[in-house]
Amino acid sequence: MPLLDPKERLSLNGGEADAIEPATGDVLDTFTLAGPSDVEQAASSAAHAQRDWARRPYSERAAVLRRAGDLIQRYEPEIAEWIIRESGSIRGKADFEIRTAAEECYEAAALAHRPIGQVLPSSTPRLSYTTRVPAGVVGVIAPFNAPLVLGVRSVAPALALGNAVLLKPDPRTAICGGHVLSAVFAEAGLPEGLLHVLPGGAETGQALIADPRVRVVSFTGSTAAGRSVGALAASHLKRAHLELGGNSAFLVLEDADLDAAMSTAAWASFFHQGQVCMTAGRHLVHASLYDEYVARLAEKADALAVGDPFREQVHLGPVIDRGQLDKIDELVRSSAEAGVRVAAGGTHHDLYYRPTVLADAGADSGSGPGSVGASAAYALEVFGPVAPVRAFHTLDEAVELANDTSYGLALGIVTRDAARALDLAQRIPTGLVHINDQTVNDEPVAAFGGLADSGTGSRFGGEANLDAFTETRWTTVRATPAAYPF
Ligand code: NAD
């Protein structure tokens, strides 16, 4: 029996939509979108179901999460096919998503077993303690690029900690980022009403944030949308965890071993067609290595196969849609017209964009992030397979260039001197730093998140999920009623 049975999906009121395979343009499936009345109904049902769920023994919640992790692995071939075909992922990226999604469930199961409070000292004779209580209904809004992982990383811990969840996947990945999870959790024995999948666009997300029963919002997406999500959540006095865009620096110091560095350099910008928040958007390379680095990265880029990841053995698949392709193309073209050298790529057919290396990038970026011209593909988040490279001469200059961005997500440093890299990293504030590795890294046990325009400093993963998806309650207990001056 397959995991997904379209006949079991609820019919929603926001109209029909197609699940499109970006590699071919074929329609893989149709599904319904959520309208405002669906959000309303889902929130009401979730709030009702959550009251009972929060009172269930932790062991029962943990068991559901463990079964969900097992099912994600058991249905790996079917889920992988959806990730590959609906989101344009290569097989390795689908495998990574499935493995990580299962681990997210196991990690969440373990979270349900964790201590949930602290006993406090008190100046009066009473028992005084805090407990973590579920936030209630959690709204999760996820993007298209790693749809399964970026949904489940909030869905799993939120459920494990006694919440109900409304999940709004991007409509471009509604099956692998939404319906897969509802089918997995239904089969894992999650009681009805606790997880609602509501595919839709910005308005559906806004309805979800505004609904009074949704108490916490977990948003992963662009900085522009995150600002509006944060403002709307604030106007409703809700907590919003915002995981946003990036333009991460990948630093190659003068002592780097280029033979060892080229694989990590290429992966940093070309993995999943560069459609990753942690993608290296700026390769900053010591001037003594610069020419060789550009030549070798360009050679590597030219050797990568781009094509249909379901039917061919390729390194890169298609980008998600025409809008994304046009944005990438525009940024590369305007940079090239303004004088940047296209050392590799810069071309496309259909939705297949060649891995691209831009040399002498960012030279006019003195006006800072957001400036255009030659620095466009360097200063802005491209979200495509583009590696802008720029030389630096001193470590101070490297620090200055790395910090010349409004984002603060990831940082990669390649050097033979790890202590020097740690020292350097202290001068470049980001939420994530990887020494002798590239910027695209994720593990469910690690607290993941960005600074500045990359997020609100909130964290997902491991213990951080306790903060994200619970509220703290202070309780005191006295043996007899307290006496006061009147
Ligand atoms: P996007 O912001 O356009 O969309 C993300 C999700 O938000 C989608 O589900 C979308 O429908 C919804 N949405 C859009 N506008 C909204 C609004 N005003 N109110 C409520 N919901 C809204 O993002 P995208 O361009 O599709 O995805 C790529 C972006 O996501 C990149 O900027 C990338 O860096 C970022 N991202 C960040 C992380 C992270 O963990 N920091 C991870 C992956 C992607």
**Centroid of ligand 1 to alpha carbon of 221 (angstroms):** 2
The terminus-to-terminus CA distance of the chain in angstroms comes to 71
Which of 277, 325, 327, 407 for a ligand 1 pocket mutation test, highest count of atoms within 8 Å of Cβ? 277
Q: Work out the average pLDDT over 276-305.
A: 98
The pair of structure tokens assigned to 192 is 């009805």
Q: Which residue's entry shows tokens 């007899």? A: 480
> What is the architecture, at CATH level 2, of domain 6-244+455-474?
3-Layer(aba) Sandwich (3.40)
CATH 3.40.605.10 domain position(s) in the chain: 6-244+455-474
Atom of ligand 1 nearest to the CA of 168: 9
Q: What is the DSSP letter of 306?
A: B
pLDDT cut 90: percent of the chain above it = 94
Q: Estimate to the nearest angstrom the gap between the alpha carbon of 192 and the chain centroid.
A: 27
Give the residue, out of 104, 141, 218, with the most ligand 1 atoms within 8 A of its beta carbon, to mutate for a pocket test: 141
Cα 334 to ligand 1 centre (Å)? 24
Instruction: Pick the range with the lowest mean pLDDT from 165-179, 307-321, 458-472.
Output: 458-472
Q: Residue 55: pLDDT above 70?
A: yes
For residue 166, how far is its CA from the centre of ligand 1 (angstroms)?
Answer: 16
Tens of pLDDT, residue by residue over 249-273, are 999 999 999 999 999 999 999 999 9
Q: What are phi and psi of 120, to 5 degrees?
A: -105, 150
Yes or no: domain 248-435 corresponds to CATH 3.40.309.10: yes
Confidence of residue 373 (pLDDT cuts 50, 70, 90): low
For the segment 391-397, the average pLDDT, to the nearest whole number, is 97
Pocket test for ligand 1, best of 97, 217, 220 (most atoms within 8 A of CB): 220
Write the Ramachandran bin of 114: left for phi over 0, alpha for psi from -120 to 50, otherwise beta: beta
202 lines ligand 1 (CB under 6 A): yes
Answer whether 448's CB lies under 8 Å from 117's CB.
no
Residue 280's φ and ψ, nearest 5 degrees, are -75, 115
DSSP state of 393: S
Measured from the CB, is residue 141 less than 6 Å from ligand 1?
yes
Cα 298 to Cα 265: distance, rounded to the nearest angstrom: 11
229 lines ligand 1 (CB under 6 A): yes
* Residue-by-residue DSSP string for 404-464: -SSEESEEEEE-S-HHHHHHHHTTS--SEEEETS-S----TTS-B--EETTBSS--BSTTH
Q: How many CB atoms lie within 10 A of CB 226?
A: 22
Contact (CB, 8 A) for 452 and 407: yes
Amino acid at 379: A
Distance from residue 53's CA to the centre of ligand 1 (Å): 30
- The pLDDT-based confidence of 355 (bands split at 50, 70, 90) is very high
Nearest CA to ligand 1 atom 12: 202
Distance CA 208, CA 159 (A): 17
Q: How far is the CA of 458 from the centre of ligand 1 (A)?
A: 16
Alpha helix ranges (H) inside 56-142? 58-74, 76-87, 91-111
What are the tens digits of pLDDT across the range 71-115? 999 999 999 999 999 999 999 999 999 999 999 999 999 999 999
Residues 6 or more apart whose CB falls under 8 angstroms from that of 56 comprise 162
Taking residue 203's Cβ as centre, other Cβ atoms within 10 Å add up to 13
Give the pLDDT of residue 368.
46
- Could you identify the atom of ligand 1 that is nearest to the CA of residue 221? 30
pLDDT, position 6: 83
User: What pLDDT does residue 296 have?
Assistant: 98
37-46, 335-344, 364-373, range with the lowest pLDDT? 364-373
Query: CA-to-CA distance for 334 and 175, rounded, in angstroms?
Result: 35
Query: 442: Cβ below 6 Å to ligand 1?
Result: no
Task: Give yes or no for residue 220 CB within 6 A of ligand 1.
Answer: yes
Q: What is the C-alpha radius of gyration for the chain, rounded to an integer number of angstroms?
A: 24
In this prediction, residue 311 has a pLDDT band, given cuts at 50, 70 and 90, of: very high
Q: In which region does residue 210 sit, left (phi positive, over 0), alpha (psi from -120 to 50) or beta (all else)? A: alpha
Alpha carbon separation from 251 to 124, 290, 377 (Å, rounded): 56, 11, 17
Q: What is the DSSP string of 206-230?
A: HHHHH-TTEEEEEEES-HHHHHHHH
Listing DSSP states for 20-53 in one string gives E-TTT--EEEEEEPP-HHHHHHHHHHHHHHHHHH
Q: How many angstroms from the chain centroid is the CA of residue 325?
A: 20
* Ligand 1 nearest atom to the CA of residue 324, by list position: 25
Q: pLDDT tens for residues 164-222?
A: 999 999 999 999 999 999 999 999 999 999 999 999 999 999 999 999 999 999 999 99
Query: How do 117-120 and 280-286 pair as beta strands?
Result: unpaired
State if residue 150 touches ligand 1 by the CB under 6 angstroms criterion: yes
Residue 398 · residue 404 · CB < 8 Å: no
How much is the mean pLDDT over the chain?
A: 96
Please state the atom number of ligand 1 nearest to the C-alpha of residue 460: 40
> Which atom number of ligand 1 is nearest to the Cα of residue 141?
9
Q: Give the integer Cα–Cα distance in Å for 437 and 250.
A: 9
- Ligand 1 centroid – CA 277 distance (Å): 10
DSSP string, 460-471: BSTTHHHHHHEE
Segment 372-389 shows an average pLDDT of: 89
Dihedral of CA 67/68/72/75: which sign? positive
Query: What percent of the chain lies above the pLDDT cut of 70?
Result: 98
CA–CA separation, 295 vs 303, rounded Å? 12
Backbone torsions φ then ψ of 481, nearest 5 degrees: -60, 145
Residue 372 buriedness (CB in 10 A; 0-12 / 13-18 / 19+): middle
CA–centroid distance, residue 318 to ligand 1 (Å):
19
Ligand 1 pocket, 178 CB below 6 A?
no
| Pocket of ligand 1 contains residue 450 by CB under 6 Å | yes
Query: CA–CA separation, 164 vs 170, rounded Å?
Result: 20
383 CA to centre of ligand 1 in angstroms: 12
221 lines ligand 1 (CB under 6 A): yes
Is the Cβ atom of 205 under 6 angstroms away from ligand 1?
yes
Q: Where in the chain is the domain with CATH 3.40.309.10?
A: 248-435
Q: How far is the CA of 51 from the centre of ligand 1 (A)?
A: 30
For residue 60 the two structure tokens come to 């029962």
Rounded CA-CA distance 121/288 in Å is 60
Nearest CA to ligand 1 atom 26: 143
Residue 360 CA to residue 15 CA, distance in Å, equals 48
- Residue whose structure tokens are 């949704």: 214
Does the C-beta of 278 come closer than 6 Å to ligand 1?
no
Residues with a catalytic annotation lie at 243
